[in-house]
Amino acid sequence: MKAHFDGSDYVPERDHDRLARQLKEIYAVMMRGQWRTLRELEELTGHPQASISARLRDFRKKRFGGYTVEKHYRGFGVFEYRVLAKPEQQTFEWY
């Protein structure tokens, strides 16, 4: 299944490769099963926190795998996230 991005500002020629790269890199980190804050994900991937948050929302969508994305309050106004892998998960083609 190929990633299908959309949105009012989405321009495939401009945005698809960047969003697909973000999705793939964030997926690789999140499949390690650890809780991560947006700041930690930014440090690990180099992507902005707003983009990381958007990609985490994408993971919940059926067309991106329908993953369970858990959110937990770490403290001091900071949340952390974990994506749960599915044993029967399909392989997604993000490019």
**CA distance linking residue 42 with residue 44, whole number of Å:** 5
Alpha-carbon distance values, 33 to 13, 21, 82, 86 (Å): 33, 20, 6, 11
Residue where the block lists tokens 């974990």: 82
Tally Cβ neighbours within 10 Å of residue 46.
9
pLDDT digits (tens, 9 = 90+) for 27-82: 999 999 999 999 999 999 999 999 999 999 999 998 898 999 999 999 999 999 99
Q: Which of 64-68, 84-88, 91-95 has the highest mean pLDDT?
A: 64-68
Show the domains of the chain with their CATH numbers: 12-84 (1.10.10.10)
CA–CA distance, 64 with 2 (Å, rounded to integer): 9
